[in-house]
Chain A
């Protein structure tokens, strides 16, 4: 099972990285960053499953890393979207003098 998840994680990382490099629009880049991030979090989940000690479902350390990572990715997305909105507001003001 963990092989499938690992493969999916690798695909997500690849897709996200491709999007980050290829797209020119900032919003798309931020979405790609989130796809890339999801891939990394899934990979950490796989690592947690593989590293489980006897009698446990998963190694708790990578899971803790995922939670912190999600908080960081969320804040980064919020900051990026706020900047994009601010730039859009500027555009609108210039459009209707």
Chain B
């Protein structure tokens, strides 16, 4: 099969899966979804192999129509790394989730189970579309697909608190998408195309006020969807209240979708064009997220809320790449952080779910003795925490190291201070979460299937291995990139 056909397959496979789930009903949902997620992972690896082998981006013009008339799909190094990350996390969530959303043999089929599996596949499909899109309107549709899959995931349990969290999330997301669409309209009105490759050529020769208004609108819309400080207010109740499998998807993947689009906009469409001040502003918001998210995480009494606030803080690191754009390590550090955070955070939310199942609640003071009750999960939790704090040799460390070296070579020492303070804060709140699990205590006996514990551990090990294989990942990230990205803005 040609590698371009794989790009189609990775989009159509999850959609076919959703249709089959709807036809097959809740009882077959789990089997169908797992088969599709395994296929999705295999295709993502296939695309990665094709990109590595040829050393070039794989492209496909839908229907044989080239841009500007047709819509192009394009997989470069950034897409491949994120595609594989998303496929691994989605598969892990699928393997972990059955107990939570299975229909018992002979039991009544619930709407919850059908909804969960179709939404899981919808999130995979939307993420794949975002990573492959090369056209801003096509990307808008993918972004909305992601929102419509993510909002119901928040309120799967249907309690009042989760419904309120979902509504608040929806309102933030809608405002964001409206601003993004307005920016897209201005771009089209000014340049007559929405193809990223074509736009990047055009804006170099005729930048101007309409371009910057459009970029500002799109960036603020995407920031609201990514929950960048100070637009993070919707995230903690939504991610902290959802069922653990849903939280893992939302925190590890969904916020990365809109972040990835921001990267496409700044690094691929207007590279090296934005002034110093714009980048500094985005970086300052990221720094605010790191500090405020870290301090609020320190104050939480519930494990899942603590992890949710840690997501607010970790998202901050992603936005440090914008002020450092053009220096070696900025883009790669940000993308490594996106992948390492996805693995570590998915592992943490799933692990927190198992701990809450055993202890009956996720209050921090009720986690005593967890190290003895769930040794594998506790071990995974500690590994994931080390990656989030940024201890060598984890993926989180490599990401922060890349960002640090970019900050040094740019001579912008203030980001170094922010990254180090963020590491201290993360050390503090992660210690608060880990400490009770390692203290003696008695936990009620609960039969947790070993497979679910192994999934949690496997994700944490992925975050660890990302550090070890970071050289390979960095080489992969460079494939198919325009040369201009690593130049001084």
**Other-chain contact of A87, B147, B160, B182 (Cβ < 8 Å):** B160
Tell me whether A72 and B175 are in contact (CB under 8 A): no
B189 to A83, Cβ gap below 8 A? no
8 cross-chain pairs, A with B, having the tightest CB-CB distances, nearest first? A47-B189, A83-B167, A72-B144, A36-B178, A33-B174, A44-B185, A40-B182, A43-B185
Tell whether A68 is near chain B: CB-to-CB under 8 Å.
yes
Q: Which of B141, B171, B182 contacts A43 (CB 8 A)?
A: B182
Interface residues of A in 49-85 (CB under 8 A from B): 50-51, 61-62, 65, 68-69, 72, 75-76, 79-80, 83-84
B170 CB to nearest chain A CB (Å) = 6
Q: What number of residue pairs across chains A and B have CB atoms under 8 A from each other?
A: 78
Query: Which of B147, B164, B175, B189 contacts A33 (CB under 8 A)?
Result: B175
Q: Report B125 CB to chain A, min CB distance, Å.
A: 16
Q: State whether B178 touches A16 (Cβ < 8 A).
A: yes
Query: With the chains together, A40 CA to B140 CA distance in Å?
Result: 14
B144 and A13 contacting across the interface, CB-CB below 8 Å: no
A11 CB to nearest chain B CB (Å): 14
Mark B residues whose CB is within 8 Å of A: 137, 140-141, 144, 147-148, 151-152, 155, 158, 160, 163-164, 166-167, 170-171, 174-175, 177-178, 181-182, 184-185, 188-189, 192
Tell whether, in the assembled complex, residue A80 and residue B182 are in contact, meaning their CB atoms are under 8 Å apart: no
Task: Say yes or no: A76 contacts B160, CB within 8 Å.
Answer: no
State whether A37 touches B148 (Cβ < 8 A): no
Interface residues of A (CB under 8 A from B): 13, 16, 20, 26, 29-30, 33, 36-37, 40, 43-44, 46-47, 50-51, 61-62, 65, 68-69, 72, 75-76, 79-80, 83-84, 86-87, 90
**Complex: how many Å from CA A40 to CA B186?**
10
Asked whether B170 lies within 8 Å of A83 as measured between CB atoms, the reply is yes
**Interchain residue pairs with CB less than 8 A apart (10):** A43-B182, A46-B189, A47-B185, A47-B188, A62-B185, A65-B184, A72-B140, A80-B167, A83-B167, A90-B160
State whether A26 and B171 are in contact (beta carbons under 8 Å apart), knowing that A33-B178, A36-B178, A79-B148 are contacts in the complex: yes
In the complex, what distance in Å separates the CA atom of A62 from the CA atom of B141?
14
Report the Cα distance A14→B243, complex, angstroms.
38
Cα separation A20 to B167 with both chains bound (whole Å)? 14
Using Cβ atoms and an 8 Å threshold, which residues of chain B touch A72? 140-141, 144, 177
The CA of A43 and the CA of B186, in the complex, are separated in Å by 9
Residues of B within 8 A of A13 (CB): 182
Contact B188 A65 (CB under 8 A): yes
A68 vs B188: C-alpha distance when bound (angstroms): 15
Is B163 a contact partner of A87 (Cβ separation < 8 A)? yes
Task: Find chain B residues with CB under 8 A from A26 CB.
Answer: 167, 171
Q: How far is the CB of A40 from chain B (nearest CB, A)?
A: 5
Tell me, rounded to whole Å, the shortest Cβ–Cβ distance linking A48 to chain B.
9
Since A29-B171, A40-B185, A75-B148 are in contact, a sample of 4 more A-B pairs with Cβ atoms closer than 8 Å, ordered by chain A residue number, is: A16-B178, A33-B171, A65-B184, A86-B163
Instruction: Report the minimum CB–CB distance from B476 to chain A (whole Å).
Output: 33
For B140, the chain A residues whose CB sits under 8 A away are: 72
Given known contacts A50-B189, A83-B170, A40 and B175 CB-to-CB distance under 8 angstroms: no
Q: Which single residue of chain B is at the shortest CB-CB distance from A94?
A: B160
Bound CA–CA A22/B188 (angstroms) = 30
A62 touches B148 (CB 8 A): no
Cβ of B487 to closest chain A Cβ, rounded Å: 32
**Minimum CB–CB distance for A27 against chain B, Å:** 10
Whether the pair A83, B166 counts as a contact (CB closer than 8 A) is yes
Contacting residues, chain A, for B160 (C-beta < 8 A): 87, 90
Q: Can you name the residue of chain B whose Cβ is closest to the Cβ of A51?
A: B192
**Interchain CB contact under 8 A, A20 and B170:** no
Determine if B185 and A83 form an interchain contact, defined as CB atoms under 8 angstroms apart. no
The docked-state distance in angstroms from the alpha carbon of A7 to that of B354 is 56
How far, in angstroms, from A68 to B174 measured CA to CA in the complex? 15
Q: Of all chain A residues, which has the CB nearest B173?
A: A76
CB contact under 8 A between A83 and B155, given known A62-B188, A72-B141, A90-B160: yes
